[in-house]
Amino acid sequence: MAMECVSVAALKSNTSGYLAAVKKRKEFIITSNRQPVARLSPVEKIAGDLKIIPAKKPVSTLGKIKGLNLEVDLLADLVVDRQRR
């Protein structure tokens, strides 16, 4: 069975309806300008399957992280990248 295609505009106008269909195990291909860009499908695992791993150190130790000394100028690289666009 082929997945139904739905445009971004249709998804935005009826999000709750599409989510209700997804809860019933239906999948959709989301399109933008008639080109597929994403798939909307039910999650494979439910939240109860997730395992929460407790932190090894308290949050207060985060303030002790020192910055990095990089060999490059990130700001200059960002400006060059923006100029290329």
Q: Which two tokens stand for residue 72?
A: 């490059």
Among residues 60, 7, 51, the alpha carbon closest in space to that of 29 is found at 7
Q: Which two tokens stand for residue 23?
A: 């809860």
DSSP one-letter code for 54: P
Q: Could you read off the pLDDT tens digit of each residue along the chain, which spans 85 residues? A: 578 999 999 999 999 999 999 999 999 999 999 999 999 999 876 667 778 889 898 888 777 667 777 788 888 999 999 998 7
- Is the distance from CB of 35 to CB of 7 less than 8 angstroms? no
